[in-house]
Structure 1
Amino acid sequence: MSTAAHPIVPLLYTPEEAATALRYGRSTVYELMAAGALKYVKRGRSRRIKRSDLEAYVDSLEAQAN
């Protein structure tokens, strides 16, 4: 019997990881953060984006398209 390890889904993403997930450029993610379109949390000099905030941003894109 084989036990497959379940991948750990991150709760917080770096802007670079968020850019990869969204298939955007890194600069675009920073622009969205600066404009307030994409929420983030800050700890010291680090910025992290919650998975739920990425999903909310994508949902807002769908709402804008309609």
Structure 2
Amino acid sequence: MDIPYLCSILDAANMLGIGRTKLYEMLTTGELVSMQIGKRRLVKVDSITAFIQRATGGAK
């Protein structure tokens, strides 16, 4: 199964168990990375994985 490179704001918030407002804060502070395609803002899934690894000290 292929792992997506990008996900929607709502999907990213759901993955982390947080609200959209907190997710946008994390994008603003650079904790997560996103890009815009047309009018859609998409979050890099790798940045979510990296955030989780940083927050847990690299534990899986």
Instruction: State the AA in 2 paired with 1:25.
Output: G
Residue 40 of structure 2, aligned match among 23, 42, 46 = 46
Greater CA drift, 44-53 or 16-25: 44-53
Figure out how many residues of one structure are paired with residues of the other and give that number: 57
Which ranges in structure 1 are unaligned for 5 or more consecutive residues? 1-5
Structure 1 residue 39, shift from structure 2 partner: 0.9
Counterpart Cα distance in 1 of 2:56 and 2:3: 24
Which ranges in structure 2 are unaligned for 5 or more consecutive residues? none
Write 1 or 2 for the structure with the bigger share of strand. 2
Residue 21 of structure 2 corresponds to residue 27 of structure 1 = yes
Bigger radius of gyration: 1
Structure 1 residue 9, shift from structure 2 partner: 4.3
TM-score normalized by the length of structure 1: 0.71
CA RMSD of superposed structures (Å)? 1.6
Kindly indicate whether structure 1 or structure 2 has the higher relative contact order, using CA contacts under 8 Å at least 6 residues apart. 2
